[in-house]
Structure 1
Amino acid sequence: RGLHIVPIIEDEDELVYFTNLKSGKSIGDVGIRIDVDVKVKSHWDKKFNRFGFSAEEVLNMGKIKNLKMLHYHISSQVVQSKDLVLLLKAAIKIFIKLKKVNPALDAIDIGGGFAVPYEKKKLYPIDGVIKNIIKTLNETVAKESIEPPDIIVEWGRYLVAPAQITIFKVLHQKTIASGPAKKWYIIDGSFINDLSDTWALHQKWHVVPVNNMNAKKLIRVWLAGSTCDSDDKYTAGGHYILLPSTENLETGQYQYLAVFDTGAYQDALSSHHCLLSSPAKIIAQNGILALARRRETPDEVGKQFGW
C-alpha cells in the first residue's frame, strides 16, 4: 500500500529471528535500537533502560543483514535542547562505525523527547533545535567522508498534544479547612479516567476558565474528579490553581474549565473507573464544529461490562 516498514530490532531474540529468515521470506530492511549511554534531565530520567543494545553489543555484531536504520529513544519531555544534540553526537559516532561494515545503513531515527510546554512556560524553539541537529549531523559525517543519513524523529507528543483541549463543568464546590487552596472544585469528569497523566506522572496542566472570565474575584482552588478515588485530583503539584469564584454566577449557571494540550496519550489511556462515561468529542476546524462522539449514556457503559 505504498508504505515502507522498517522493523526495529531491540533484543537478541528479534535479531536472531530477522537475520535467520530464509530466502523468499525476507521482510526487507531492518533497523537496530541502541541504548545511548547519555543521561539527560527528563520525565524518564531512570538509572536503567531496558530498551536497545549497548554500543559495545551493536559494534560487536559486525555486519547485520539488511541494516538500514540506527534508532535510539532516550526519553520523554527532555528539559534542555542541548541534551537532544548531545544524544545525537553520541549516536552518530556509533552510526559511523556501523556504516563502515554496513554500507546500506543510511538513516538515523533519533526518537522522541521534544518537550511540550504544558504549563505555557517558554522552553526551546523547534526551529533552533532542528538547525542544530542538522548542523551537528552534517559536520560530523563530513569528517568521515560519509553522506548525511536521512533523519527521522518521533516527536508525536509535541505534535498532537496541542490538537486537543479538555473541558470540564464544575458541578459543586467544597471548602478546604486548611491548605494552599481554599476550595475544591468538583468536576463532571475524572483525572484518572480522562487525563490519566495527572496521577500517573503528576503532569502539570495549563487550566483556564471558559466562562466567567470577567469575575472580580479569583480564588485558590484544587480540582477533584467525580470518582470515589482520593487520587482523582489536580493540585498543580501541591500548590493551587487560580480560578474565578462562582459566587457571582446566576442560578442554574455553571463554571466551565479548559485544560490545554491534552491530545497526547490521554484518550488512549482513558478508562471507565467508577463507571463514569466517556466524554463527548467535538471537532473544531476552520470555524466549523462537528460532533464526533456523543457522551456515553449509563446504559452504554453498563453494556460494556455485560449488564
Structure 2
Amino acid sequence: MKNKYIDLIEQSFEFPNEEFSLVDNELYWFNIPLMDIIKQYGTPLRISYLPKIAKNIQRARRMFNVAMAKVDYNAEYHYCYCTKSSHFSFVMEEVLKHGVHVETSSAFDINILESLFETGHLKPDTYVICNGFKRPQYIENIQNLINVGFENVIPVLDNKFELDLLLKDFDQPVKVGIRIASEEEPKFDFYTSRLGIRYNDIIPYFVDKIQNNPQVELKMLHFFINTGIKDTAYYWNELNKAVNLYCELKKICPQLDSLNIGGGFPIQTHLDFPYDYDYMAEEIVAQIKNTCTQNEVPEPHIFTEFGSYTVGESGAMLYSIVNQKQQNDRELWNMIDSSFMTTLPDTWAIDQRYVFLAINNWDLEYQRVHLGGLTCDSEDFYNAEAHSNAVFLPTISENNEQYIGFFHMGAYQEALSGFGGIQHCLIPAPKVVVIDVDEQGEYVTKLFAKEQSYKSMLKILGY
C-alpha cells in the first residue's frame, strides 16, 4: 500500500522537478540540502536564494523579446523591479546586477536609490519610475535625484495636482508619465481604482497642463490591473482600452513613446501550476502591435514592473514542529516554532497559499494535520493548500523531529510583518540567510540577520 509521504507527493505532482528533489528522504531546493542549512542555522529560518531572481529576470526578458520578434515589433522592452516587493540590500544589489530598471512607491525608496548610487550599484541612466501618491518629501527626493544627474527619472502622475507640486521652485526639465485609473473587476468592492487619473480626464489634462509647457515632456502612459495579468476578458478589455488611449494621446503628443503595463505576472503557489507565461507575453505584445497598426501609430516601448515575479520564488521559510496536539477526534494540530501571522502575514490577511513541503522523513506514512502558530490569535494557522483543502505531513514519531518549508514567499512578507519591529505576542523575527552560488557552482550561505533579541524589541517599546 502506497501510504508514505513520498508516495503522496509523487502521485499528486510532477516530482522531482527542476526546483525540488529528494536525497535520502530529505528535501533539496535548487540542489541545496535544506537539512544541512537547518543544522547550521536552526529554525525558524528565512532564506533568500539569489540565483532565482536572476533567472526570472532573464526569463521575462527572453519571453518579451521573442514575442516582439515574432510580430516585428519596432520598439524596446524594459524590465523594472517593483522595489516595494522587497527592499533588502541583497535583493536590490542582485536585481541591479542584471541591468534592471526600478519602480518606486514612496520617499524612502529614493533614499535607498541614493545609497545604491553612492556604492556604485545604480547607474545614472537607469529608468526610475516614480509611482504612488506623492507627498512633499517624495517630491523633494525626486527633484534631488534629477538634480544629481539621473536622466531617466519619470514621475508618474497619480492625480491632477502632482505636476504643480513637482514644478514648484524647480527649474529642471521634467519627464513625466500619467497613470490611468483602470476599472476594477466586477466582483471588486468598488468600480474604479483609487490610483491614477480617469480615462476621460487624461487628454484634457495633457492639453491644459503639459502640451504647452516647455519644461515638461510626457513620455509614458501607465496602466495596471490590480488582479494581475490573467487570460480573462476583463484583462484584455482593459489592456485594449489603455492602448487605444495611448494611440489617441500619441497623435497630439509626439514625445509620448512608452506604455507601462505595470506588474502582475503570477508566481507558482503550488507544484502543479498551469500558467502559460510565453502565451501571455506573446498575446500582450501582439495586441499592442495590432492596435497601434490599426491606429497608424508607432508602437510604444513596453515597460513592466514585476515585483512578486522577480523576488517571490527566491524566498523560503523553514520551521520545525515543536509539538503535536490531538484536540478532538478529527483535528490534529502540529505546532510550529514561530507564527504564521508574524512571518507569513499574507496567509491570514488574504488567505495566500504557498508551495509547502516536508523537509525530512519522506519515508514515513502521512497524516492530515492542521498547522498552528505560537501566538494566542485564533487566526494563526494554516490548514489548506492552493490545490487542496487539507495539509498532509509525515507522521510524527518520538525522537524524530519534523521540519517543514514554505516556498515562494519572498515578496512582501517581511515588510507586511514589520521585520525587526514589534511582532504579535512578541514573537521574535527569525534569522535571515542569503544563499548564492560561487564561480564553481557551489552554494554559499551568509547570515544576514540574527534572530531578533529581547533587548532590541524592548528598546523599540521604550524599556
Query: TM-score, normalised to structure 2's length?
Result: 0.60
Name the structure 2 match of 1:66: 217
Q: State the alpha-carbon separation in 2 of the partners of residues 14 and 193 from structure 1.
A: 36
Summarize the Cα distance change of 1:89–1:77 in structure 2 as closer, same or farther, 3 Å threshold: closer
Name the structure 2 match of 1:270: 417
Alpha-carbon displacement from aligned partner over 1:73-104 (angstroms, at most 9, x marks no partner): 21144543665444321100100111112111
- The structure 2 residue matched to 1:32, chosen from 165, 178, 184, is 178
Residue 66 of structure 1 aligns to a residue in which SS?
A: strand
Following superposition, the deviation at residue 291 of structure 1 comes to 1.5
For 1:37-186, list aligned pairs within 5 A: 37=183, 39=185, 46-63=190-207, 64=210, 65-80=216-231, 83-177=234-328, 182-186=331-335
* Contact kept? 2:184, 2:193, Cα under 8 Å: no
Following superposition, the deviation at residue 226 of structure 1 comes to 0.8
Summarize the Cα distance change of 1:261–1:96 in structure 2 as closer, same or farther, 3 Å threshold: same
Following superposition, the deviation at residue 300 of structure 1 comes to 2.8
Following superposition, the deviation at residue 144 of structure 1 comes to 2.5
Following superposition, the deviation at residue 266 of structure 1 comes to 0.4
Residue 267 of structure 1 aligns to a residue in which SS?
A: helix
Name the structure 1 match of 2:379: 231
Q: State the alpha-carbon separation in 1 of the partners of residues 236 and 303 from structure 2.
A: 14
Name the structure 2 match of 1:293: 449
Q: State the alpha-carbon separation in 2 of the partners of residues 154 and 40 from structure 1.
A: 24
Q: State the alpha-carbon separation in 2 of the partners of residues 178 and 82 from structure 1.
A: 46
Following superposition, the deviation at residue 72 of structure 1 comes to 1.6
Following superposition, the deviation at residue 120 of structure 1 comes to 2.9
Following superposition, the deviation at residue 299 of structure 1 comes to 2.6
Which letter does structure 2 place at the counterpart of 1:303?
K
Which letter does structure 2 place at the counterpart of 1:260?
F
RMSD over aligned Cα atoms: 2.3
Residue 195 of structure 2 aligns to a residue in which SS?
A: coil
* Contact kept? 1:171, 1:186, Cα under 8 Å: yes
Following superposition, the deviation at residue 277 of structure 1 comes to 1.0
* Contact kept? 1:81, 1:129, Cα under 8 Å: no
* Contact kept? 2:184, 2:192, Cα under 8 Å: no
Higher helix share: 2
The answer on 1:211 being equivalent to 2:360 is yes
Equivalent pairs counted in the alignment come to 297
Name the structure 2 match of 1:187: 336
Alpha-carbon displacement from aligned partner over 1:48-84 (angstroms, at most 9, x marks no partner): 4211122111122243342110002211445436654
Residue 90 of structure 1 aligns to a residue in which SS?
A: helix
Query: TM-score, normalised to structure 1's length?
Result: 0.88
* Contact kept? 1:45, 1:75, Cα under 8 Å: no
Residue 182 of structure 2 aligns to a residue in which SS?
A: coil
Q: State the alpha-carbon separation in 2 of the partners of residues 92 and 197 from structure 1.
A: 33
Residue 302 of structure 1 aligns to a residue in which SS?
A: helix
Alpha-carbon displacement from aligned partner over 1:208-241 (angstroms, at most 9, x marks no partner): 10011111x2111111111111111112179320
Alpha-carbon displacement from aligned partner over 1:154-209 (angstroms, at most 9, x marks no partner): 12111211011110111111113155xx3111111111110010111011122110
Which range moved further: 284-293 or 78-87? Answer: 78-87
The answer on 1:246 being equivalent to 2:402 is no
The answer on 1:2 being equivalent to 2:125 is yes
* Contact kept? 2:179, 2:221, Cα under 8 Å: yes
Gapped regions of structure 1 (runs ≥ 5): none
Residue 6 of structure 1 aligns to a residue in which SS?
A: strand
Summarize the Cα distance change of 1:126–1:291 in structure 2 as closer, same or farther, 3 Å threshold: same
* Contact kept? 2:434, 2:447, Cα under 8 Å: yes
Residue 173 of structure 1 aligns to a residue in which SS?
A: strand
Seq. identity, %? 29
Of structures 1 and 2, the one scoring higher in RCO (CA 8 A, sep 6+) is 2
